[in-house]
Each structure stands twice: as C-alpha cells, then as structure tokens.
Structure 1
C-alpha cells in the first residue's frame, strides 16, 4: 500500500491511535471493506461465509454502494479485525494477491454484485494489487542509442516516464511549462477540481492514501503528480521550458528530427521513437466579441487565471456552463457583489457533491490499514467504469419516443430532473433555462460543486445565449440584456488540437495535419500509417467517455507503447508502422459502433465530443475491459516492421460484440477471424 502524496490539509489523525480510537474508526467504516481486509490479511476464506451472509448492499452516492449488517455481526467483525491489526498497522506490509477464485469472492462482496471473470485481470491491476504485467518479454535490453522522446509532462507523460524508466529505455521528456502537471499546472482558477473520484483518478501503481476529499482539488492533485516524479526518480529526465515546434521523419537515419526551443534557445534533437502526451486540448477558445477594446474591465480565460485580480466586491460574469464554469461560479459566489453566468446550452447536472471531505476514520484506514486502499479503489473503479457503458448506448426503439436514448440512460435523466425539481420548486423560469434538450452523456454530465445553490442567490442571475458586444462598463448579451461588469471570465473550453500545435512531417513529406484532414484517424488511437515510430496518447476515438478517467486510457496506451518498443528491440527492427489497411478496417468498426452511442446525438449544438463535420472523434466505442485487453500487446500482422508486412488479419474486437448483432456497416475484409471467435464470419464475429 503506497503512501505517496502530500499530507497537507489531510484530516487530523493521531500518529499512533490507541485501541479505543481504532475501535471508533472501525465502527465508522463499511463492514464489507473491513471484511475484505480481514480475509486478505488472514487468507481465511471461511470469514466470507461467517460474516458475508449478513451484509446487505445499500446504494449511496459517494462510493456507490455501502453495506448494512446486523449490530452483533458487525461488532464481532470489528473485534476480530482489531485483534489482527493490534495497535494499528503502519508502513507497507508485503503485498500479497489472493488467487483469482478468492479475489473474485472478495470483489463481489465489496461491490455487492456478481463480477464476471472477464473483469478480474483488469480489476487486479486497476485496484493496485498487481503492477504493470508485461506481455512482451524483454529479450533484448534497450541500448542507449535507442532514445525515446516524450512530449508533455502531465499525467500520461509522467506515467510514460515511469514505465520507460522501469523498462530500461533511454528517454527524455519535453515540457513547455516551468513545472510538471499538465492541465493541473495550467488551470489555477478558483474551485478547480477533478470530477473523477480521488481514489480512482490516480495511477494504479501509485495509490495515494492522503486525499482530503473524495474528489481532489487541483492543487492537491498537482502535488500528487509531482510526488510521483520524485518517488520514481524521473524528474531529472524532464526538461522544463522546452517546447517542440516541429518534427520530421528522416528515412535514412530512421530517426525523428525535432526542432525545439529550450529556455529561448533553438535546438535540434533526434529520437528513435516519439511519444506524444499532450492531450487533445491545447488552445483556449476565446470568443471574438464586437467592441472588446472598449471594455474597461478585465477579461480572462479560465485557463489563464490572473491571481492578481481581486474579485472581492466586484461585478463578475462567467461565460460557460460546463464543469469549469460551475466550479468557478460556486467558488466565487460569496466573494463578489454581483454575479452573472451566461450559458449557450445547459448541461445535465447530477447531485453528486464534489466537496465531501474524507473523514479521519477513512483517512486512518487508507493510510494504515493494509489493502484497504486497494479494495476501496476496486469498488470505486467498478462503479465508475463499464457499469456506465449501457448508459451511452442507443436503444433505437426507446429513443423514438423519449428524450433519453435507452432505459439505462433514462435512469440518469430522471436523477437529473428530480434534482432540478427539488432544487428549484419555486423558480420555474430558472429550471427551464437549466433543462437541456438532449439526452444525458451526449455532452459531459457535470457533478454539482454548489452551482445550483449559487444560482438561487439574490445577487446572481443566469442568462441564456452569449455576449453580443462589449460596452465601456460591461456588455450587451444576445438576448438584449445590458450588464455591468468589472471582470468577465471566459470558461469557454479549448479547441480540439489533435497535435496541430506541432508540425509533424512523416514519410514522403506528408504532414500529420494533411493526413488527418478532414478527420483524425488512428489504430486504437495510438498509431498512424506513414508516421513510423510515432506513438500517440489521447488520440482520436480513444477517450473513455462512459466512465473511468484519462488515467485509465493513458495507462493502457503507455503499456501498449512500451510493448511495441520492446518488440522492435526483440526483432531488431528500426521502424514500426501500422498499415493503412489496418487503420481503414479498424475505423469502419469504430464509426459503426459510434453511431450506436449517445455521443453521435444531434441535439448538442455546442461541445467538444463532435467535430464540425458532426462525426464523434473523441470518444471510444469500446468497453474499458475490451480496450485494456486489446492493448496488452501489439498484433504484429497489423504493422510493417522495417517496411515488411506479416500475414494480414482483420480487426477483431473479440468480446465487444458478444451477444449483440454486428453493426450495419461491414469492413471490406471477409476473412475468418484469426482468433477464431465463435460464429465468426468476418471481423468482429
């Protein structure tokens, strides 16, 4: 059980709590988690029968499930566990992993329902019980001459640094800012927080026991990321204040030649392989508003927050309705004299409060109780991952007569509508403005940090539309309302850059921008034909939108990239390049499956899920477990190794299609699936 992360702001817990305090802590903790720890520590399976039968799962919001147990049974369980841990457990005990049969039993007890076998391996990893299990054996150790460049030192770039370091690769990370952290370094606006649960939104190999809230605030998350670079000794591999301006493939050298600017100085560097870890958000969207030069106040984008601007007693406007906007509104509402928020299109908001603190009892358990952090993370991952997959799927018959797209989607819709009704019973006009006309998940669902409560305050108003033009002391909104303002905050998001900030030139002089015009395409979101030894994270159709977080997709992709690099060394090849046929075939299936998702819904006038052509190019159509499986190791028949192809084979999403009819569109290939899936008559059978 790792003890990484800053303890600043953590709940007060005695350094060495006495038995009475420990007993009090145990009384406050879900008995299912205590039973998981007891069985794990003792290896005694009979405890599951002794205590498990008395556990009754109860759905709650924070951890999604808790358990009730009769008082006598709960007391006996706590007493037995207290006897095992004695005066409290500190430090890191040897981390043992139960065999799969016992692991499955404990996992089902912790989540309160059946866990199919196909999820066990990913659960063991994502819960932090096992580290990164390599699929490609390291037959050849990476030579110093095989140098890898990672662009970006955010969450995924840090993960790539750790995994490359562990695999023995010579690598350098280029980061344009003056510190690591990516988006959590860049975004410093009031109330900035992660809307994925703290105990899941971290690297699976480095759990953090010190979260102060069940959703981490930006500053604490940034400290966590920095602690990872320190603990795994990769910070010296990061070159800060270094931006990559362009990179071109040199066929003769089989190297990428990068033009960089480091501390204002231009340099040229070469790399055998390049990993991009820039995300798909780069350039802030700043609306071009008439007469902006006339405004005497301050205008700033949320990602470029000016901390020298004091909002106290000011008239402030926040433009936007997404996660950032609602966090800012909830955070500054008590500070300002007047607050106006302008929404072009509302989001669905769920009553899941992001500000809930971790109690001293839970903090003690995360920090000192062996395996507690892992079992809690398993539960959090379970209810935040593929449990939400069906919510994103369109049931065509249901969608004909409902705003929601399926019965599962309708459950979320009814929760959101009930929250609106309960919050604004006496404000029908406000409720109407806050009710979207598209199904949940067509745009990102927002967790409420106190936004709805803020909108009911007397000094707050909500306008629908945007700013039409500025005046000297404010602006005129598109609905004609004239508003005075001292500060206008543009919480208007980012452009989908897709690496457009770097000129990337591959084989035959073709740039990636040309290759991706009009639509970005990649195989598994990672590799692109014509661009050998280039590996992309946060690529097209690779974001997990139905659950999880960028940490999951990033870990899958980084694992896959290391396996590809190791394959190059094992086979003594200089170039590794996906075939055009593979990308074309794969994306036929992506398009067909995306058409069955809510992200293709036409009712979202604004948002980043769909590009200008209407195609959804951000989200992944696969379940998380399927994406994880597909990225365990490269399928070499899909690639050119030193320009040579192995026997071709069609893309097979394996269990993705299990129990469902195939999509309406079929890939051009009709060969039998090489993995011999049951009933296969073509790709994905």
Structure 2
C-alpha cells in the first residue's frame, strides 16, 4: 500500500495540473457515480447539474427500485459520459467547499436520499471537507507547564495526541505494548480485518486514497496508523512498553500523579494536569475456564494472542465461537487444516456484503487520489448508508415484537435479507441452515458481514456443533451435548472481557475510587466521557458511547477528542485549573440513556449471551442517540453541568 503524505491534512486540496488522460479515463470507468457527479459540480462550477440529474434520478426511480443510494445504470453511464467531457485539462475546482445550502443539495443528490439540515455541519466534518469547527474561543494559549497524559496508543490515543498538539497542549502518551495501533497491533490472527468500510474507517482529516480493499485488513490498517503517527510527528511523544498502573488526584496541587511501570521494570510517577484514557474496552482476552484445560496435549491460543509459531497445516482444529472474529478465522484457515470443528453457543445473524473482501480497482484508487473532492463525497456516501440509516433497526415496536422474532418492520427487513442469504447459501443443506439461524432479532448481538464463512462451513473438512465445551481431554474436547471431538489445536474465538477501566487504579477527589463508583459492572459517565469526583479525567469509548446501530469507532474517536480539547480550552480561557461534571447532570443524562435504551434490542434482545448487557441486564455499551445528535452534544462543554476549580 502506498500512502500519500503531504505536509497538510488531506482536506487541504492542491490542483492536479499534470493529468494522465489514460488513467483518468480508466478511473471514470469505475468511479462511484454519485461522488463523481459531485466532483463534476466542483470542477465545472455548474450547479445546474444538480437539477438535471435530480430529475433523471427521480424519473428512473419511478421505473426501478433503488438500492441504498445506488444510481441506476442509465444514470451512472450518463455521469461517466459527462465526466469525459468536463474533466479535460488541469483538474482545478471552480467551487471549493460550498456553503451549507449548496452542500445539502449536493449531499442529497450524492447519496440519493433526503439529508436533514442538522447533518450538514456533521457531514462537512466527517466527509473530510474541513476540520472540526472550534466552539470555545481560543484567545489564550495553554500555560507552558500544562500537560495531558494519554493512556493508550490506538485509534483514539493517536487522535487525541494530534488534536491536543494542534491546540497547543503539551502531552505524553503511555502505551503498554511495544507498538502503537491498539486492536490492530494485537489482533494478528489469519483473516483479521476491519468490518467497517476502509474509506470511512479512518480519520476525517487524514483520508487515505490508496486502500487496497473496501474493508481493510488488520495489517493494512496498522500501516495506516503508523503513517499517521509519522506524518504528525507523534513518536517523540509516545513512551512504549509503559504500563499505567494507576492515577491519583492530588487536590493541593490540582494535578494527577500517574504511576507507570516502564520497560526496564522500574515504577515511576509522572504528573499531568489532565488524563485522557484511550485504552478501549475490549482488552482482556476472555478464555473460558473449562475442566481439563491444563491436560490438553495439543496447542491452544486465543485469537488476540495468536501463536504464529503453530503451523495449522494438516491439523485437527477446534474453534470455539462464531462472532465477527471467528468467521474471519474460519474463512481464512479452512483450506489448510485437516479438519475444522466450529463450536458455537449461538449463531449470529450473517449479512452478505459483496465488497467485504473485494479489492479496490486501480482506477478507483486513482480517482480518489487525483480527482478533487471525489474522495470526500465517496466518504460521505459510504458513511451515510452505514450510519444513522440504521438507527431504527434496533428499536422495538412492541406490538410487532409480540408476535415476531424481529423487533419491528425495519428490523424485519434486515432479518429477511439474512434469511434470504441463508436460503441462497445452503439450498441443499437444511441442517446447516437450521444450525445457523438465530432465534433473536438482528442487532441484539453484533451483526456479521460474511468474509467467506458460509462457503467455508460447506467444505467436507468443516463441521458445526451447537453448544459449548464441557471438558477438555488430552486428545480433544467434549461438548456440552456430550460429543467428543479429536483435536490437535484449540482456538479460542471467545472475544474479550469488557472492562471499563477496571484494570486501572484511579483515585479521585477525596480518595474516591473509580472501581468503587463503577462496581457491579455498572459504569456511569456524563456523556460517556467525564465522571463526578474525578477532575480533568476524560474517558474515551466510555459506557454507553458505542455507535452500535451504525457508523464506527472512528466517529466516537473524533467526537470525544474534540470534546476533550474544547473542555481543556474552556479551562484555559476562564483561568480554571480543573473541572468535573455534577452528579445531578450525570444522573439526569444516564436516566435519559436508560429510558431510550429500554426501547431497543440491546436491552430486550432475547439472547442469552453477549457483551452488550452487564450482568444485571442493563445495556451498558450502546449509545442511544443518533450519531448526528451525539456529535451535536459534544461540540463544547455545557458550563452549568460542571463544577470548576480555580
């Protein structure tokens, strides 16, 4: 993969003056037509194209059923023909980023859908047209000694480092591992890949036009993060092999003392005015405690601790689990092992996605890199159909749910797609179809995009088993159904223990401990970010902050980091030393969260296991709001909801 790396963020566009006509023609042949049409408007300055093609789309829609904003073939062909005439000579746009009214018209035509006015500033930012707009005035620079400690160096940690640095704050990143990347440095199992589209699952200020696949592999995504760290000169600020053991607030000094065990084994104390946790929540590998596990004569490994020294060729392999990770592993190794037995407690809903393993054509990559604004509009279209369009799907229609497996008509549409995919995949294998059909509504557990799992389980050397493992013997495993399976290798595709900072000793004002505040798997935070009693302590990817209905972790990343920078700048502007949310604001916010989630399959999903609910049954992962609404909540801190010191 080749990454472009100009000095400026990728929303700063330079004209393309030396155009390779053959490459341009090849790009036009495969470019996404909605985004290409918007690039033509930018290039020509002719906004009449919007009315012309709006009429064409409306006319074609009356004849054919559009699918997720996909342009009809006749309209797509006309866009390409127009592009061959208009994209002549240097590619110098006559319209840069349009005003809000024009942007909305362009967005609606690009995605071929109605776009609410509230989405315009959100899409301008997430599409990569412009940086996040600052809300808190920045008339004062942070004091020279004001320092922020960032714990973790994955997607959010890197983002926090970039944004804090650009806002003038000193920062230091502590990373437990010897590499950055978080999930993508840890998960190196065969088939590891992101299940969110490449051209969206990246920073809005650092688009990458050279993704090789529409859904990035783990190694390619890790390379992207390394590119970002290098471009923004983050390495001097990162301390690797540095495990943060705890943080303690010192009231007299208005400072956090952070205890860190370094690579040489020494334990040192560092001081910071604010702490940003960017550790994620799925960190500790969940390995089941099964009778006889220590007696197994073969090899065992968890997908997050993959043993590359173990050769699976010709081996009898047992995989426990059928979630997003398991299906990737199974699809990747089925062809090299002697036998593969997949043991699953519950099947997941599996949805077809034709691009999940597809390469990005070279022409498409050329268009993304060289046609001004094509990439931004392609990102908008990708995001639009993968984000709030799914908001209604996990919500419950009580009258419908009383008589259906699905939770609502919208939820049922997804279920029908999945059921149709099962029918088409297993026309001659009713046994597999039955075993792979869930009995709960889609989205109650994370939905799976098929990377080739359905094809893999039809192989002669692959078998499915419902249940779990009751006992492990030296030569294999015994399932809860009493079946013995001979094995040379056991792979735990059992996910992670969900931990909201439970591994970190955080002591706030007056000696209060975060572990006690969040005991019994009941973490609560204001906006999912700040906690009463813990001044200048910012949690990213906190409780009830995950965009489970759509979008991706990258949205949460940028929104949370923006809010943190705005909050710290508010302290600087007003001469305060610390801030923490009031208990009243926190309790009120979480009351509204619970009320909203009580209407969803994340709370009442009819599934016996999964990490979306805590042991008391509360939905503690999902954010209940539309992505655009949560984005709006996080533009700047609301002073009345905080207590300030100094």
Judging changes above 3 Å, is the alpha-carbon distance between structure 1 residues 451 and 387 closer, same or farther for their aligned structure 2 residues? Answer: same
For the residues of structure 2 that align with 1:70 and 1:574, how far apart are their CA atoms? 58
Q: Is the 8 A contact 1:108 1:115 kept in 2?
A: yes
Instruction: State the shift of 1:30 in Å.
Output: 3.4
Judging changes above 3 Å, is the alpha-carbon distance between structure 1 residues 404 and 567 closer, same or farther for their aligned structure 2 residues? Answer: same
* 1:609 corresponds to which of 612, 619, 624: 612
C-alpha distance after superposition, 1:517-568 (max 9, x if no partner)? 2310000000000111100001111110000011001111100000000011
1:204 aligns with 2:209: no
Q: Is the 8 A contact 1:54 1:73 kept in 2?
A: no
Task: Output aligned runs, 1:567-606, within 5 Å.
Answer: 567-606=570-609
Judging changes above 3 Å, is the alpha-carbon distance between structure 1 residues 432 and 239 closer, same or farther for their aligned structure 2 residues? Answer: same
Instruction: State the shift of 1:49 in Å.
Output: 3.0
TM-score for the superposition, normalised by structure 1:
0.89
Corresponding residue for residue 139 of structure 1: 139
Q: Is the 8 A contact 1:318 1:490 kept in 2?
A: yes
Judging changes above 3 Å, is the alpha-carbon distance between structure 1 residues 71 and 571 closer, same or farther for their aligned structure 2 residues? Answer: closer
Q: Is the 8 A contact 2:529 2:538 kept in 1?
A: yes
Corresponding residue for residue 538 of structure 1: 541
For the residues of structure 2 that align with 1:191 and 1:382, how far apart are their CA atoms? 27
Judging changes above 3 Å, is the alpha-carbon distance between structure 1 residues 225 and 282 closer, same or farther for their aligned structure 2 residues? Answer: same
Task: Output aligned runs, 1:299-310, within 5 Å.
Answer: 299-310=300-311
Instruction: State the shift of 1:605 in Å.
Output: 1.0
Q: Is the 8 A contact 1:3 1:207 kept in 2?
A: no
Instruction: State the shift of 1:19 in Å.
Output: 2.4
Corresponding residue for residue 11 of structure 2: none
For the residues of structure 2 that align with 1:72 and 1:296, how far apart are their CA atoms? 61
Corresponding residue for residue 625 of structure 1: 628
C-alpha distance after superposition, 1:170-216 (max 9, x if no partner)? 10010011111000000000000000000100011111101111100
Q: Is the 8 A contact 2:23 2:363 kept in 1?
A: no
* 1:426 corresponds to which of 425, 428, 443: 428
Judging changes above 3 Å, is the alpha-carbon distance between structure 1 residues 64 and 73 closer, same or farther for their aligned structure 2 residues? Answer: closer
Q: Is the 8 A contact 1:610 1:616 kept in 2?
A: yes
Corresponding residue for residue 556 of structure 1: 559
For the residues of structure 1 that align with 2:227 and 2:95, how far apart are their CA atoms? 21
Corresponding residue for residue 347 of structure 1: 348
C-alpha distance after superposition, 1:97-153 (max 9, x if no partner)? 111121111111110112111111101000000112111111210122111000000
Corresponding residue for residue 507 of structure 2: 505
C-alpha distance after superposition, 1:584-623 (max 9, x if no partner)? 1111111111101110124111111001110000001100
Judging changes above 3 Å, is the alpha-carbon distance between structure 1 residues 72 and 137 closer, same or farther for their aligned structure 2 residues? Answer: closer
Corresponding residue for residue 453 of structure 1: 455
* 2:441 corresponds to which of 428, 439, 447: 439
Corresponding residue for residue 25 of structure 2: 23
Corresponding residue for residue 169 of structure 2: 169
SS of the residue corresponding to residue 538 of structure 2 reads strand
SS of the residue corresponding to residue 145 of structure 2 reads coil
Q: Is the 8 A contact 1:31 1:69 kept in 2?
A: no
C-alpha distance after superposition, 1:251-305 (max 9, x if no partner)? 1111111110111221101110000001111211111111112211001110000
Judging changes above 3 Å, is the alpha-carbon distance between structure 1 residues 174 and 388 closer, same or farther for their aligned structure 2 residues? Answer: same
Instruction: State the shift of 1:33 in Å.
Output: 2.2
1:294 aligns with 2:299: no
For the residues of structure 2 that align with 1:597 and 1:427, how far apart are their CA atoms? 33
For the residues of structure 1 that align with 2:605 and 2:72, how far apart are their CA atoms? 41
For the residues of structure 1 that align with 2:144 and 2:215, how far apart are their CA atoms? 41
For the residues of structure 1 that align with 2:235 and 2:137, how far apart are their CA atoms? 27
For the residues of structure 1 that align with 2:80 and 2:579, how far apart are their CA atoms? 60
Instruction: State the shift of 1:65 in Å.
Output: 2.3
For the residues of structure 2 that align with 1:34 and 1:618, how far apart are their CA atoms? 37
User: C-alpha root-mean-square deviation of aligned residues, in Å?
Assistant: 1.9
1:415 aligns with 2:417: yes
For the residues of structure 2 that align with 1:42 and 1:74, how far apart are their CA atoms? 13
Instruction: State the shift of 1:93 in Å.
Output: 7.9
For the residues of structure 1 that align with 2:65 and 2:363, how far apart are their CA atoms? 21
Instruction: State the shift of 1:32 in Å.
Output: 2.6
For the residues of structure 1 that align with 2:110 and 2:65, how far apart are their CA atoms? 12
SS of the residue corresponding to residue 423 of structure 2 reads helix
For the residues of structure 2 that align with 1:574 and 1:613, how far apart are their CA atoms? 38
Q: Which moved more, 1:29-38 or 1:447-456?
A: 29-38
Judging changes above 3 Å, is the alpha-carbon distance between structure 1 residues 72 and 224 closer, same or farther for their aligned structure 2 residues? Answer: closer
Q: Which moved more, 1:37-46 or 1:249-258?
A: 37-46
SS of the residue corresponding to residue 87 of structure 2 reads helix
Greater relative contact order (CA < 8 Å, ≥ 6 in sequence): 2
SS of the residue corresponding to residue 392 of structure 1 reads coil
Task: Output aligned runs, 1:465-484, within 5 Å.
Answer: 465-484=467-486
Q: Is the 8 A contact 2:43 2:95 kept in 1?
A: no
Q: Is the 8 A contact 2:162 2:234 kept in 1?
A: yes
C-alpha distance after superposition, 1:452-488 (max 9, x if no partner)? 1111111100011111111111111111111111111
For the residues of structure 2 that align with 1:59 and 1:527, how far apart are their CA atoms? 46
Instruction: State the shift of 1:67 in Å.
Output: 4.0
TM-score for the superposition, normalised by structure 2:
0.94
For the residues of structure 1 that align with 2:97 and 2:637, how far apart are their CA atoms? 27
Instruction: State the shift of 1:31 in Å.
Output: 3.0
Judging changes above 3 Å, is the alpha-carbon distance between structure 1 residues 60 and 266 closer, same or farther for their aligned structure 2 residues? Answer: farther
* 1:383 corresponds to which of 365, 382, 385: 385
Corresponding residue for residue 245 of structure 2: 245
Q: Is the 8 A contact 2:543 2:621 kept in 1?
A: yes
For the residues of structure 1 that align with 2:590 and 2:76, how far apart are their CA atoms? 55
SS of the residue corresponding to residue 372 of structure 2 reads coil
Task: Output aligned runs, 1:112-261, within 5 Å.
Answer: 112-261=112-261
Corresponding residue for residue 323 of structure 1: 324
Q: How many residues align?
A: 627
Corresponding residue for residue 68 of structure 1: 73
Q: Is the 8 A contact 1:143 1:170 kept in 2?
A: no
C-alpha distance after superposition, 1:293-318 (max 9, x if no partner)? 22110011100001111111111111
Q: Is the 8 A contact 2:248 2:508 kept in 1?
A: yes
Contiguous gaps of at least 5 residues in structure 1 = 6-15, 644-685
Instruction: State the shift of 1:24 in Å.
Output: 3.4
Q: Is the 8 A contact 2:507 2:514 kept in 1?
A: yes
Q: Which moved more, 1:501-510 or 1:211-220?
A: 501-510
SS of the residue corresponding to residue 366 of structure 1 reads helix
Judging changes above 3 Å, is the alpha-carbon distance between structure 1 residues 433 and 4 closer, same or farther for their aligned structure 2 residues? Answer: farther
For the residues of structure 2 that align with 1:199 and 1:388, how far apart are their CA atoms? 19
Q: Which moved more, 1:33-42 or 1:335-344?
A: 33-42
